[in-house]
Amino acid sequence: MSQPTIEFPNYKLQNKVALVTGSARGLGKACALALAHAGADIALGLRKSDTAVDLENEIRNMGRSVIRVQMDVSEVKEIESAVKTVIDHFGRIDILINNVGVAPANPAEKVTEADYDLTMNLNVKAMFFTSQAVAKHMIRQKSGRIVNMSSQAGSIALDDESVYCMSKAAVNHMTKTLASEWAKYNIQVNAVAPTFIETPGTEPWLKNPEFKQSVLDRIPLGKIGKPMEVAGVVVFLASEAASLITGEIVMIDGGWTLK
């Protein structure tokens, strides 16, 4: 009697199209490169479409198709226009990486309405309407993967980060509600929640030896994360290897939130 064929996990993304917002640098850039390395064609969603030329060339040199798209996610009309551009070019979007976000530090008693609106609009409102615009096409395809960039801050309290923390808590619950609502269309929605990662945005903080040590003291694994350590989980969630996962918030925090 012949043995049943074993179906091993498939992490490859050939013939998939991924849209990555905020892809010019940091985690967005790492995600775009990692997805391309796994075989996906890439749409770079950029606040200014004349940037990230080097990244575009790097992805093209991998043998992938890539376009740069004007996509200031603070403007809903620009989100819709960008998604249309990607669909017109590639014919589909299989993967959305909602990466755009801000994390301005400010004591709660000093937060202004403008401060609040900036953080909530970019971290929550923009993510919702980007997901909505892309999901309309994924619903017609009857398939799709959405990965939201959350943070450990959505699960713990960080001093001087009250609005950022609440915005990421909102991202976590948005992830779950969209996963529930769109599961019937075979759309999986998950989030990754990193700790402090070495990016241009965190560089000024991590240059301070005392601050860096205070972070390391909170991380059981005893190291600051690298962008590709986040991108690796993003690729997994975008792949068929994660075909039974939706509505999850994956902590990438070296163990910070264990305690």
pTM of the model: 0.96
**DSSP state at residue 122:** I
Q: What angle do CA 235, 68, 198 make, to 5 degrees?
A: 50
Q: How many CB atoms lie within 10 A of CB 7?
A: 7
b/e sequence 155-171, b meaning 16+ C-beta within 10 Å: bbeeeebbbbbbbbbbb
The model's pLDDT over 72-102, given as tens digits with 9 standing for 90+, comes to 999 999 999 999 999 999 999 999 999 999 9
Determine whether 11 is exposed, middle or buried from the number of CB atoms within 10 Å of its CB (0-12, 13-18, 19+): middle
The model's pLDDT over 228-241, given as tens digits with 9 standing for 90+, comes to 999 999 999 999 99
User: Which helix (H) or strand (E) element contains residue 71?
Assistant: none
- Distance, in Å, from the CA atom of 154 to the CA atom of 168, rounded to the nearest integer, reads 4
Task: State how beta strands 95-98 and 17-21 pair.
Answer: parallel
Tell me which residues are annotated as active site.
164
pLDDT over 90 (residue 3)? no
- Of 82, 55, 54, nearest in space to 69 by CA: 82
Residue-level pLDDT at 1: 63
* Mean pLDDT value of segment 196-205: 92
